[in-house]
Amino acid sequence: MALKLAGGIIALLAVLFQFVVKDILFTTLGYGRDLQSIDEFPYSCRRIYHPLLDSCEDLWLDDSGRRLYAACSAISSRKHWNPAADKLNTSGRGLTDHISVLNIDEPGPEKLYGVHELQLTGPYASATGGREIDLHGFDVQVLDNDEGRLRFFVINHRPVSAISSSPVDARQHGANSTVEVFDLVRGETELRFVRTISDPAIQTPNRPASTGDGGFVVTNDHSAKVGFRRELDLLLGGGSIAYCSATSKCHIASNSGFNFPNGIVRGADGLYYTPSAMTGEVSIHRLSTNRTLTKVGEIYLGMPLDNLSVDAEGDIFAAGFPKAQKMLKAMGTPETIGVPTTVWRVRRKGGEGLGFEVVKVLEDRECSVLPGTTSVVHDARKDVFWLGGPTSNFISVCERRG
């Protein structure tokens, strides 16, 4: 009997190692993974330091308007208030989050690209009744090219209710996250408030993706705001994707098969690509007429992934964490932990079916120049990469040599 029991335990442990522990050690945490130096790639990279470029979690490139937009904060603030990373000390919020803008074709004498901040206008009210905002991911829809209007969909991790402004205990209830909608006229500096979207389907939002018709889909990167089930996400997976219409009606569009779904993007082919911050896969979904998502394929990159972006030629770029444990450590002590970065290009192959070519285009083993990158965008016109991350007080730009 004892021998049978011991054999059963050994078999169970073998299964756990094969299907859980092995993936966590080698795919997620990257133990034994060989990395490349940034010098092995045909790009010259440099850091851009400025107070407005501190802790930039997400980036969006306006190819037609030739502007780079960045959702930035302060490292000192994100160490305390970052619900996606279980940082729930509301008293440590820096209250300085902002959208920064760079004129990517005009570096200027100081090579700061005319960096400036967008001002929030209109009847927007923050968690304290002021203009503060608690940024994470965002996406932009081009409303019309003639007038040059852009619509921003912005994740706002409010520490209080969006409806009543009554305080809540974030450690008990998590953030009361919303999606804020703003409009911007190209060339102007005011983000004009349109509306706040608060809905139970927007539970732990990470990044929205415009559907092109005034609505959006948004990833919920955890199974719950707080609690025991959330703690099990590492082993059991969890998360979902919600859909919200142009009239702000929301529902869960897909809630199965996810494992830390991250920075979703709408591809040039109209499909939705969602990276996993756990399994190293990108799931591919189609949005149906009843506004649910159906999985139609997946792409395996083999390391934890954060935000995706699409360039003007339709290529998808992914920010990867080749040593995810260093990113986790850097969330608490960003000043002392260097985070390696990997950038992947995913290109749709010609012909029928969902075929893709996956190529590593950048990697910084020594953490010498790139941030712990959570977002990378590619300027296809000039073959230039822009990279940002929440644990770095700079963004980086990489230009092709020669």
Residue 129 confidence (pLDDT): 82
Identify whether the C-beta of residue 124 lies closer than 8 Å to the C-beta of residue 193.
yes
Residue 401 C-alpha from the chain's centroid? 28
Residue 10 confidence (pLDDT): 47
- Average pLDDT value for residue range 143-162: 85
Measure Cα distances from 11 to 3, 14, 16, 21 in Å: 12, 5, 9, 14
- Closest C-alpha among 340, 335, 271, 344 to residue 301: 344
Assign 11 a pLDDT band (cuts: 50, 70, 90): very low
Task: Count helices and strands (H / E) in the chain.
Answer: 7, 27
- Average pLDDT value for residue range 127-154: 89
Strands 293-300, 305-310: pairing kind:
unpaired
pLDDT at 2 over 90: no
- Closest C-alpha among 104, 43, 21 to residue 341: 43
Assign 15 a pLDDT band (cuts: 50, 70, 90): very low
Residue 144 confidence (pLDDT): 78
Q: What percent of the chain has pLDDT over 70?
A: 88
Residue 336 confidence (pLDDT): 62
Query: pLDDT (tens digit, 9 = 90+) per residue, 83-128?
Result: 999 999 988 888 999 999 999 999 999 999 999 999 999 999 887 7
Assign 145 a pLDDT band (cuts: 50, 70, 90): low
Identify whether the C-beta of residue 306 lies closer than 8 Å to the C-beta of residue 387.
no
Query: pLDDT (tens digit, 9 = 90+) per residue, 19-75?
Result: 455 566 656 665 567 899 999 999 999 999 999 999 999 999 999 999 999 999 999
- As a whole number of angstroms, the longest Cα–Cα distance in the chain is 79
Superfamily (CATH) of domain 33-400: TolB, C-terminal domain (2.120.10.30)
Query: pLDDT (tens digit, 9 = 90+) per residue, 167-215?
Result: 678 888 889 999 999 999 999 999 999 999 999 999 999 999 999 999 9
More confident: 71 or 166: 71
Whole-number average pLDDT of the chain: 89
Residue 25 confidence (pLDDT): 61
